[in-house]
Structure 1
Amino acid sequence: MKFLLTQVLFLLFLPSFLVLEAQVWVPTGTESRRASALQFDAGGSSFQKDYYGYFSPNFTYNHGNNFGYSFSLPINALAVDKEPLQIDSKAGKIREMDYNSKNDYSRVLNYISYGTYNQQIPGKVTYSAYTGKMVDGYIGHGTIVNKYQSSSRFDSYNPGVMADLNTDYVGVQYFANSVVNFEVNAARVYIKPLAIGKSILSLFDKSSDLVYLMNLRGNVLDESGRLSVEEEAGSEESKAKKTEETRKKEIRPYSKDSRMELVDNDPWYNRLTIGYTRAWDRAAPVQMSYNTNGSPVTEKNLDNPKTTQVTRASVEGMDIEYRLLNLPFVEFIPYLDVNKIKGLDGAQGTHYGSIFRLGTKDLNIILKPEFRQMTANYAPMYFDSFYEVERFQKFPISAPLRPKYDYLENQSNAKVTGYYHTIYVNFYHLGFEFAVEDYGLKGNKRVFAAAYIPLGSSFLMSFYYTKKGYESQGKAFELDNNTQAAAEISKSFGPIVLRLQNYRKYYLDSSEKSFISIDEIRFLVSGGISF
């Protein structure tokens, strides 16, 4: 893993004219829906010093621009088994952890998607629904649910859910970590009070009523079904103009933080948003079951450690933001989130943040500094990239297992201050993201780095790297059990694509009495037909 990440970083600076097929990470807000195709991935992989043959047929189909789905059937077949030998070891044996629980069979689902999440179009009702592989699940400003990865473990796969509905006045967002069992859920409801007030006042404004009635008259037929004289004269010209405007101004979310897409239609009364969020783990582990040797008892056909006590871990909060500036070259949005963990003594946190964009859609930098004041028993971004593991074992990882909720339950409510700062750099189709978190205490730092780099028309590379719970900045990029990452380099040769992939994820190792982070390296040949 360390070698591949080094090579990726080195290649960032190589001048090359080669298209990216990788999807291990894409800039937030980038459309990642695949083209309609029947494809295959075939090759070999290395995992825990054993070697596997890898094959995965893939089917993707899009019904227009809004609805699409993608399925695959990834299979790892044992080729070379090195010491220690697996039970019932033989060539061609399917890797046991891949399909030994009901959740694992959802690996066939890449995604089912309708609409675009977090899309707001003035004057229209927008909605979306997505279920599938998730690498950046979030709600609101991301102070409770942020960068959630539903597939951060080799031995367990959970296709997540994200859905929303947006209007000019109110909206709702929904998140779930798994469409199979819905263990972790979150919902946010927001209102735009100034827009609501403006609409109410317009009911009593005669001039507004007149304009409104004139607009109605221009959009209806008379009793005989005929257009008005004004409409008859300019209907064709008007239709052509509207079609051209629609083609030029397709309003899609540019970023989960920026509202650049609304620059041309963002009145002052539409900029204030107040939201309420509640997120919960309906069966958060509190106490674990152990064997006499101290190793965790594993639930049969579930790949999870067995629990002896669970509880409902619930986080709720209020948020407010106002877009002070939203111009073609500059944007500024201050926000405030106040959250608390229910059931824990005084566990609360306040997030003071802002979003600052400088530049256009094709070339810009977005800064998102966020300062935090909280109690020691509060966890910002409670549901994050590591939660699929952390619900059983807190970070930094150490044996034996200790659930996150149990750890926080035994902390004081002393005051803690810190920050979580993020920077995005977008240069046409290239995207970079970097974030760092620190509270000045032992073992509570976090780093995130990612890049999406298409070079020319046939060469692409992307990667992300994140680590949580390290003690000093000098250890931020040391690979250990607190690290999660992925990288891919791909090169097209006509209809064939060669791929080198490295995934660093977790799996439960009973012999080590904890989750461990390890690498899987794949070399693949991909091809197929588009339609």
Structure 2
Amino acid sequence: MKIYTILFLLLFAFQNLFAQIYKEPKPDEGFLTGGAGLIWIDGQPHYRISFRPEVSFANFGVGLDLNLDFDSQGKLRKENFNEFTDYLSIIRYVRYGFKNDPVYIKLGALDYYTLGHGTIINYYNNSPTFDARRIGLVADFDFGNFGFESIYGNFAQAGLFGIRGYVRPLKFTEAGNIPVIGNLELGATYAADFDKNATVLAGHYDSQKGEFVKTEDKGALSIIGFDIGLPVVKSGFTTLLLYFDYNKISNFGSGMASGVKLDLNGLGLVELSAKLERRFNQDRYIPSYFNSFYEIERFKLDTVNNNFSSKALSLQNVGNDLNGFYGDLLVRVLGLFDIYGAYQRLDKDSKSGILNLRTDVSPKDGSIVLRAGYDKVHIQDEKDLFKLDDRSYLFTEFGYKPLPYMIVSIVYNWTFTPERDSNDKITGYKPQKRIEPRIYFVYPFNL
């Protein structure tokens, strides 16, 4: 293709923003974004057509996400639409309410969902790859005196399910009006992964049949948990929560966590949320088992070397007395920037580091756009912290607004793409690099 044609296409380049730093439209607001452009996937150029409208009216919201990638021969990239869920995922989400509202329901891509205090399900992502997007469901209801949170990760096949019910028992009595103690909350959680590879501990690849043969498998992996939380301070500006969790992984081990969570809201202009947690882990127990990397780590088959890895196998080999700390911090300055960071480190495990970072510096009336998200697991030391490999997940965008509705930027993704067997079944994931220079248009509108 001639150079001036490519340059013309670049004027309309557009690609998904990672949902961990993307903000959905406010009530009675909408965005119309799209175009055509050029993107490099693992060093190969592809031509992209994108369309992503989003609209929010009252408590309802809908977002679409259509991406068509064509190679240099004009053929549609296979991974765009090789599963039924790829067609369904054109509807990125349909929701009612927002997280932490009395009623919150969301169908579609589930980005960084946390159940309860996060000691079982913490920032779970059901679609960690552009090439195998999933449709899931979140349903949270808070009736005041009691309620529940729930998640189902993938309607296309058996997968993650989690539900936490909770009750504020003193609210049913006169003691519910007593400051501090009246807000006592008791919770119980059940979470399970029903995927066929959730607990594979031994097996081999049969090259003649073209499939993996399991020789040791414990079936569905399930976790039960009990928690207690007490907001010792609760006002319009400050919430200070003390909590304690106990969790047991069926057929494996158990663990506990005690923590404190502080939320500050400075007149709606500055928000700060911080959590510090001490984790007490017995053998064969991993805290926050269902995390942002779970879909990647659940099971991976190496057909060349005839071996495999699985998170259940890692769980089986975890030793005793691996206590540690977990902390996170969110700073949000309205209209200026958001910064979030979380880190885990266990006392006696040199490969236990888990890092989550996200930032969004894109003031509404400013000219600079900076968005980034980074996840890393099994961190060994500082040198390993920002090394991109099969334990890393990165998104960056740096751009400039020459006009209020136009952004000129460069986007870099270190993500994953599925590996498939002869039957086109996903057997694991491998790292994928995407680079995209773009100029795209965002048209806001009010209903």
Specify if TM > 0.5.
Answer: yes
CA deviation string 1:155-188 (max 9, x = no partner): 3111332111111211011112124335111001
Aligned to 2:71: 78
Aligned to 2:377: 468
Which whole-Å CA distance do the structure 1 matches of 2:241 and 2:399 have between them?
A: 37
Using the TM superposition, give the Cα deviation of residue 470 of structure 1 relative to its aligned residue in structure 2, in angstroms: 2.2
Which whole-Å CA distance do the structure 1 matches of 2:30 and 2:317 have between them?
A: 51
Aligned to 1:206: none
Give the 3 Å change call, closer, same or farther, for CA 165–182 of structure 1 in structure 2.
farther
Segments ≥4 residues shifted beyond 6 Å: 305-308
Are the equivalent residues in 1 in contact too, given 2:188–2:227 (CA < 8 A)? yes
Aligned to 1:52: 46
Are the equivalent residues in 1 in contact too, given 2:299–2:428 (CA < 8 A)? no
| 2:308 alignment partner, SS class | coil
Using the TM superposition, give the Cα deviation of residue 498 of structure 1 relative to its aligned residue in structure 2, in angstroms: 3.3
| 1:401 alignment partner, SS class | strand
Asked whether 1:517 is paired with 2:442, we answer no
Give the 3 Å change call, closer, same or farther, for CA 424–72 of structure 1 in structure 2.
closer
Are the equivalent residues in 1 in contact too, given 2:20–2:112 (CA < 8 A)? no
Asked whether 1:527 is paired with 2:441, we answer yes
Using the TM superposition, give the Cα deviation of residue 416 of structure 1 relative to its aligned residue in structure 2, in angstroms: 1.7
Instruction: Give the aligned residue type for 1:171.
Output: G
Number of aligned residues: 413
Which whole-Å CA distance do the structure 2 matches of 1:277 and 1:474 have between them?
A: 37
Which whole-Å CA distance do the structure 2 matches of 1:306 and 1:388 have between them?
A: 20
| 1:320 alignment partner, SS class | strand
1:351 to 247, 257, 267: 257
Q: Which has the higher contact order (CA 8 A, sep 6+)?
A: 1
2:85 to 87, 98, 103: 103
> Within 5 Å, which residues of 2 pair with 1:57-68?
57-62=51-56, 64-68=57-61
| Structure 1 spans left out of the alignment, 5+ residues | 1-20, 80-90, 120-125, 203-265, 299-304
Using the TM superposition, give the Cα deviation of residue 444 of structure 1 relative to its aligned residue in structure 2, in angstroms: 1.6
Which whole-Å CA distance do the structure 2 matches of 1:284 and 1:444 have between them?
A: 26
Q: Quick check: which has more Rg, 1 or 2?
A: 1
> Within 5 Å, which residues of 2 pair with 1:11-410?
23-25=17-19, 35-62=29-56, 64-79=57-72, 91-119=73-101, 126-198=102-174, 268=180, 270-285=182-197, 286=200, 287=202, 290=205, 292=207, 311-327=219-235, 330-344=238-252, 347-357=253-263, 360=266, 361-393=268-300, 400-410=307-317
Using the TM superposition, give the Cα deviation of residue 284 of structure 1 relative to its aligned residue in structure 2, in angstroms: 4.6
| 2:114 alignment partner, SS class | coil
Aligned to 2:355: 447
Using the TM superposition, give the Cα deviation of residue 441 of structure 1 relative to its aligned residue in structure 2, in angstroms: 1.0
> Within 5 Å, which residues of 2 pair with 1:415-426?
415-426=321-332
Give the 3 Å change call, closer, same or farther, for CA 349–36 of structure 1 in structure 2.
same
CA deviation string 1:107-139 (max 9, x = no partner): 3121101112222xxxxxx32210222221111
Instruction: Give the aligned residue type for 1:42.
Output: A
Instruction: Give the aligned residue type for 2:55.
Output: Y
Which whole-Å CA distance do the structure 2 matches of 1:351 and 1:24 have between them?
A: 30
TM (normalized to structure 1)? 0.71
RMSD: 3.1
Are the equivalent residues in 2 in contact too, given 1:357–1:367 (CA < 8 A)? yes
Give the 3 Å change call, closer, same or farther, for CA 33–98 of structure 1 in structure 2.
farther
Which whole-Å CA distance do the structure 2 matches of 1:68 and 1:165 have between them?
A: 18
Are the equivalent residues in 2 in contact too, given 1:24–1:487 (CA < 8 A)? no
TM (normalized to structure 2)? 0.83
Are the equivalent residues in 1 in contact too, given 2:20–2:111 (CA < 8 A)? no
Are the equivalent residues in 2 in contact too, given 1:445–1:468 (CA < 8 A)? yes
Decide which structure has greater strand share.
2
| 2:412 alignment partner, SS class | strand
CA deviation string 1:28-87 (max 9, x = no partner): 9x655694344423211111111000111233333x2201212132011112xxxxxxxx
| 1:389 alignment partner, SS class | helix
| 1:415 alignment partner, SS class | coil
Instruction: Give the aligned residue type for 2:232.
Output: L
Give the 3 Å change call, closer, same or farther, for CA 59–362 of structure 1 in structure 2.
closer
Q: Aligned residues: percent identity? A: 22
| Structure 2 spans left out of the alignment, 5+ residues | 1-14, 422-426
Which whole-Å CA distance do the structure 1 matches of 2:69 and 2:418 have between them?
A: 19
Give the 3 Å change call, closer, same or farther, for CA 446–276 of structure 1 in structure 2.
same
